[in-house]
């Protein structure tokens, strides 16, 4: 087991726009907050604040390179489990509403999910 898993995240030192540095803890997002993480995917400010459990607007205090460092670390810590969580969610949605994943992807202009009946095959 990694120390990140044991401690639920990793500590980073970040640079602040106003000068100086701050130590922050980039956490593994608890399962109960996964829907919030999903909702924040299009807003990196909210995602950074969620990763660090900080109040709204805190991410504006970070220097650009530190902001990106937090995004990348948060994604590294959370992406594997989050991807599996999203996949399980899609499977449950399909059981209740067959074809919903394909319709949502098509409406959003996204490629069809792997395994979708109408997704292009790897050979084709």
Tell me the per-residue pLDDT of 63-114, one tens digit each, with 9 for 90 and over: 999 999 999 999 999 999 999 999 998 888 888 888 877 887 777 776 765 6
* CA–CA dist 5, 74 (Å, integer): 13
Name the residue with tokens 């996964």: 34
Q: How many CB atoms lie within 10 A of CB 62?
A: 23
**Is 121 among the domain residues?**
no
**Is 96 among the domain residues?**
no
* CA–CA dist 89, 71 (Å, integer): 24
Give the range of the structural domain holding residue 76, as residue numbers without chain letter.
Answer: 3-81
Q: Would you say 59 and 48 are in contact if contact means Cβ atoms under 8 Å apart?
A: yes
pLDDT of residue 122: 46
Number of domains in the chain: 1
Q: Would you say 118 and 102 are in contact if contact means Cβ atoms under 8 Å apart?
A: yes
**Is 40 among the domain residues?**
yes
**Is 16 among the domain residues?**
yes
């Amino acid at each position: 087991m990694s120390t990140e898993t044991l401690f639920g995240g990793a500590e980073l030192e970040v640079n602040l726009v106003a000068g100086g540095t701050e130590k922050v803890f980039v956490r593994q997002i608890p399962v109960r907050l996964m829907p919030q993480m999903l909702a924040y995917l299009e807003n990196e400010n909210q995602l950074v604040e969620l990763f660090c459990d900080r109040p709204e607007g805190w991410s504006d205090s970070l220097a650009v390179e530190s902001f990106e460092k937090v995004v990348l670390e948060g994604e590294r810590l959370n992406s594997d489990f989050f991807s599996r969580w999203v996949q399980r969610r899609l499977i449950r949605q399909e059981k209740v509403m067959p074809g919903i994943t394909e319709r949502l992807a098509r409406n959003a202009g996204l490629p069809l999910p792997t395994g979708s009946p109408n997704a292009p095959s790897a050979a084709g």
